[in-house]
Amino acid sequence: MTETVLLAGFDAGQTHTTCRLALRRSDGSLQVLAEGEGPGVSHLAAAAGEELFSAALTISLERARAAATHTGEGLALSSSLQAAAVGASGIEQGSAVQQLGTALAAAALGLPLQRVLVSGDERTALHGAFGGRAGIVVISGTGCIALGRNAQGEEHRCGGWGWLLDRSGSACDIGRDALSLSLEMADGRRPDSGLRSSLWAALEDGPMTPQRIKAMVVEAGFGAAGFARLAPAVNALAEAEDPHAIEVMERSALGLVELVAGVARTLGLEDGEVCGMGGALGHLSRLSKAYQRRLKLVLPQARLVHPRGDACHGALQLACHLLEQESGAQLRLR
């Protein structure tokens, strides 16, 4: 391709969605124009999942366009959007959910199907972190997953099976496990400590009892995000040397390391580069420190690196690839 084209890369999370607009120049480089944030998404099969997904894309795109106009990049938006890639949790490769997400994104963004890619956010994170090179990303946010790619182009993933099945080191795991410990304290299975009172106060819903907590966690609006909101309180307790909180954080750190080790051994990347990402690893200091310490013990030759770019950057790269593939197909037809 020789012309300058407008691309969008989306990072669609459970709390918010980020859209990044960029121009792809004739030399293949990207000029970022602006970003916009919209609401979060849920699994497409969940109640109102399709509506939330479409709204997240359209709102974040509108806000990115508005931000570009405000910063003086309005002239760059005179051309229409040419391609887009979306990374969202819960999108499995080759699944009916991926097909549905692609159709919804194409309709929301006004693009043909072949100009849209919807994939798991772990893939946009991997491309953003390594730019197509070999490496492993482990993402710990509300949920957690690890994905790697070796020099032969083979990919393997560990985790990411959803909060009802995974116990691998996410913010949800931390909050759920700590809350479970607090109930063991309340019914006499463990000695009481400051963990119980701190967590119950963090629920911010009036005086707590075990019975009320039991009812609360099965309410439709609680779910993984409800447990994850407790993780900062657990981290603060661990930093204050609460032994029960430390126990939870160490177990979660080990779960993350096991994800990385599973990917590394499958792809032959025991001495490869590993990039940790996500809000839990980024903001929960005790989890991050325990994860790094344990990773050195399990994979001593692995190298911890910072990402070259984030998930939105990876999505923009994947959008570029869509156009390159289309151009290649057109050349072959000639």
Q: What domains can you pick out in the chain, each with its CATH number?
A: 5-131+309-333 (3.30.420.40), 159-304 (3.30.420.40)
**How many C-beta atoms surround the C-beta of residue 191 within 10 A?**
8
C-alpha count within 13 angstroms, C-beta hemisphere, residue 23: 16
Average pLDDT over residues 188-202: 94
Q: What is the pLDDT of residue 310?
A: 93
Q: What is the pLDDT of residue 333?
A: 39
Q: For residue 74, is pLDDT > 70?
A: no
Q: pLDDT band at residue 100, thresholds of 50, 70 and 90?
A: very high
Q: What is the pLDDT of residue 4?
A: 77
Q: What is the pLDDT of residue 80?
A: 86
Phi first, then psi: give them for residue 146, nearest 5 degrees. -130, 140
- Euclidean distance between the first and the last CA atom of the chain, given in angstroms as a whole number: 16
Q: What is the pLDDT of residue 166?
A: 87
Average pLDDT over residues 143-160: 95
How far apart CA 181 and CA 189 sit, in angstroms, is: 9
How far apart CA 164 and CA 26 sit, in angstroms, is: 46
Cβ pair 314, 129 in contact under 8 A: yes
Cβ pair 155, 149 in contact under 8 A: yes
Q: What is the pLDDT of residue 76?
A: 55
Q: pLDDT band at residue 331, thresholds of 50, 70 and 90?
A: very low
How far apart CA 14 and CA 143 sit, in angstroms, is: 10
Q: For residue 169, is pLDDT > 80?
A: yes
Non-local CB neighbours of 3 within 8 Å, separated by 6+ positions: 26
Q: What is the pLDDT of residue 43?
A: 84
Task: Give 2-30 pLDDT, tens digit per residue.
Answer: 567 999 999 998 789 999 999 998 787 89
Q: Mean pLDDT across the chain, nearest whole number? A: 91
Average pLDDT over residues 47-75: 88
Task: Give 248-280 pLDDT, tens digit per residue.
Answer: 999 999 999 999 999 999 999 999 999 999 899
Q: What is the pLDDT of residue 47?
A: 84
Cβ pair 212, 230 in contact under 8 A: no
Nearest to 105 by CA among 14, 10, 39: 10
Q: For residue 163, is pLDDT > 50?
A: yes
Task: Specify whether the backbone of 295 is left (phi greater than 0), alpha (psi in -120 to 50) or beta.
Answer: alpha
Residue type, 47: A
More confident residue, 94 or 74: 94
Task: Give 305-330 pLDDT, tens digit per residue.
Answer: 999 999 999 999 999 999 988 775 54
Q: For residue 332, is pLDDT > 50?
A: no
Q: What is the pLDDT of residue 221?
A: 84
**Distance (Å) of CA 267 to CA 66, 123, 155, 257, 262:** 43, 16, 7, 15, 9
How far apart CA 42 and CA 64 sit, in angstroms, is: 21
